[in-house]
Amino acid sequence: MDVWSYTLEGYNAEDTVINGNRFLIGNGYMGYRGTMDEWGRAELAAVNLAGLYDQNGDKWREPVNAPNGLFAKLFLDGKPVSLGETPALRHSQTVRFRDGLHCRDTDFGAVRIQSVRFASMAEPHLLASRLTLTFQKSGRAELLCGVVTELWDINGPHLFDFAYRRGPVLLAEARTGELSVPVAAAQATVCDFPRGEETEENENGVFRRIRFDAEPGTAYTVTLLSAVCTGLDGPEPGERAVFLCETARAEGFESLLAAHRAKWETLWQNSCVELRGCDEAARALNASLYHLHSIAPRHAGSLSIPARGLSGQTYKGAVFWDSEMFLFPVFAHTEPELAKSLLRYRIDTLPGALKKAAEYGFRGAFYPWESQEGGAEGCTDYNVTDVFTHRPIRTYFRDRQIHISGDVAYAFWRYYEITGDTSLFLEGGAEVILQCARFYLSRAHSRVDTDKVELLDVIGPDEYHERVNNNAFTNMMAAHCLSRVPALTEVLAGAAPGYMDGLIEKLDYQDDLRLLRGVAPKLCPVFAEGEVVEQFDGYFALEDCTPDTVRSRLLDEREYWGTNHGVAAHTQVIKQADVIAMMALFPSLFSAGTVERNWRFYEPRTEHGSSLSSCMYALTACRFGRSDLAWEHFLKTASIDLEGGGKHWAGEIYIGGTHPAANGGAWMIAVLGFAGLSLQAGELTLTPRLPPQIRSLRFTAAGKQITVTHDGWTAG
């Protein structure tokens, strides 16, 4: 088995949506779905842009899909040659992880179409494709290629006022409807054979018709080069896109490909995890890291990664807590500058978090549950539709998932713990932590008849139980956030004398500083050694049953399990790791025996209805020495985008796409779980817990090549 690629043989129309995710290419600036060269809106072809959003009327706000500049459809003797429309003798589709290539090979009998496509890692605005057309009989061939503006949108349309330019480079320009941001896509072509050409434009885009007489046994090569630019990148994005196409055409496909491959090789030098013993697992792990690299916003410096990456517009293209909990750890260990980008996004969006807290009547920073540009809250009050009444169901994710602010603060502190670098604190990270702590002081409740401090009416990671009191995970994140303020003061006293004093004075934080020292220990949950931690007040009194029992009560497989009337809401069945997630994030607070007892209690009660869940169960299984229990969760996590797993519907809402959190979780299980890596200020220790299926792991950490086997580990 080739562990550095994934190939699917044959064509099944029902797999079109899933394959668009499986075979995605991207470079952080944009993601190009794994569709055929000749496909369009009906097959969910899309060029998804990072960081550009639009709202059409009262529909959900979502990221913008750009015009598709790699479109190419062949006609032979006047008849279309298109997969799904024309019978094919054989077909295969491949994604190559090592160098980020999408390859297609379709034999229609009369003609064989092969293509190689990439989203340039060297120039983030550039897409390139090389088509090879090999004919078995003579005929009149016509290749229609151009920039398609008939776009797939879930809640669109988002682009208006299209204008086209014909010539050596085709150009389509438009503006978003909400904020009138210009968007431009250009295309240039290179052919190695005599042909006739003419250009045209219509309501679907601007096109070039390339006509030639096909000879049997002859291969005809056409290179397509497309550039995408928007008003967020600078002035005159249309001119910039044309210039990039002209430059790329002069440079040539092979040169562009070489630069692209060189960038990919640099990325793998620090992030590659060589897993020996199970090729299936090695390929799944490589695929996970490939997808993470494809969506990482290296071009921006202060941008984060949406919950569905750049695979489409689901989840509104928003940044969730996934970014801090599941993506940040990978890059903090392998690419610290990129980890900084994810956290700078939270610094830049602090004003949005302050605004949201104020809207709810609180002080400090309440980060959006679904963060869009500028920290705008993308989460609505109605996120699920009832499959029976078709009416929206009120959910409280936006209002009550307050652990998000603690998650953000946790990541800033972990960056410091892992690297020893205090620079992010001085760039604004210290203020983020102080404002998140202030929010919890404002949000917490203190009863007059006890000394207890509580967080009431919240939702933890387990979203099937809404509006609960004292969720252990939430309380722990809040308490940790509060305790980081005095710790931060101590750290920066040596690194940046006077900085914290100035910040505390600027934020008028003196009273808060005195208050949080007393609140943090009262808010922190009390854990008894060896006992099962109650997920929230009253959890143990709920019906004790299994996910299969709950599933048997469904009247429609698309029913949402949560909310007050959901089938799981009044049971102990949970959506995903909650208490176990807390134990994974704070390993020093819980003994191996306590972790194991909680694992054995909660795992049978967990539906794993989120791709975030299995990772936490795998990490904690390694903690108590049962990497064999972690193995199944590892495979499920790492292979999710190859197998097309995960939920695709929440009620009547489509939530499909790639799973960046699971991609990050796969690396976490392999390196932090199986290898047992711990980095503290750049100093590493390892406690290997390899499952029997793995002979060895090899990866880079702290600038050293680490090899882990069942006999121990070495660093060179």
For the annotated catalytic residues, the residue numbers are 463
H or E segment and range at residue 290: helix 279-295
Can you tell me whether residue 177 is helix, strand or coil? coil
Tokens for 330? 């990978």
User: Contact at 8 Å (CB) between 5 and 285?
Assistant: no
Look-up of token digits 């400090």: 364
Secondary element (H or E) of residue 593 = helix 592-602
- Give the integer Cα–Cα distance in Å for 139 and 76: 7
SS (HEC) of 543-574? ECCCHHHHHHCCCCCCCCCCCCCCCCCCECCE
The whole-angstrom distance between residue 568's C-alpha and the CA centroid of its chain comes to 27
Reduced 3-state DSSP string for 213-266: EECCCCEEEEEEEEEEEECCCCCCHHHHHHHHHHHHHHHCHHHHHHHHHHHHHH
Q: How many CB atoms lie within 10 A of CB 558?
A: 14
Q: Give me 684's structure tokens.
A: 């590493």
SS (H, E, C) 600-649: HHHHHHECCCCCCHHHHHHHHHHHCCCHHHHHHHHHHHHCHHHHCCCCCE
CA angle, residues 624, 630, 636, in degrees to nearest 5:
160
Q: How far apart are CA 666 and CA 610, in angstroms?
A: 14
- The C-alpha angle 671, 674, 675, rounded to 5 degrees, equals 55
Let me know: does 170 contact 206? Beta carbons within 8 Å.
Answer: yes
Q: Which is nearest to 413 in space by CA: 352, 354, 486?
A: 486
Strands 696-701 and 274-276, sheet pairing: antiparallel
577 contact partners, CB below 8 Å, separation of at least 6: 461, 584, 602, 606, 612, 613, 615, 616, 617
User: What length is written for the chain?
Assistant: 716
Q: Are strands 30-32 and 25-26 parallel, antiparallel or unpaired?
A: antiparallel
Rounded to 5°, the CA angle 368-62-341 comes to: 55
The pair of three-digit structure tokens given for residue 82, joined into one six-digit string: 């298109």
The set of residues, in sequence order, having a beta carbon less than 8 Å from that of 481 and lying 6+ positions away, is 405, 406, 409, 410, 433, 436, 437, 440
Distant-in-sequence contacts of 424-428, Cβ < 8 A, 24+ apart: 424/340, 424/343, 424/344, 424/347, 425/488, 425/491, 425/492, 425/495, 425/496, 426/492, 426/496, 426/499, 427/344, 427/347, 428/344, 428/347, 428/350
Element (H, E) at 513: helix 510-523
The span from the CA of 215 to the CA of 224, in Å, is: 22
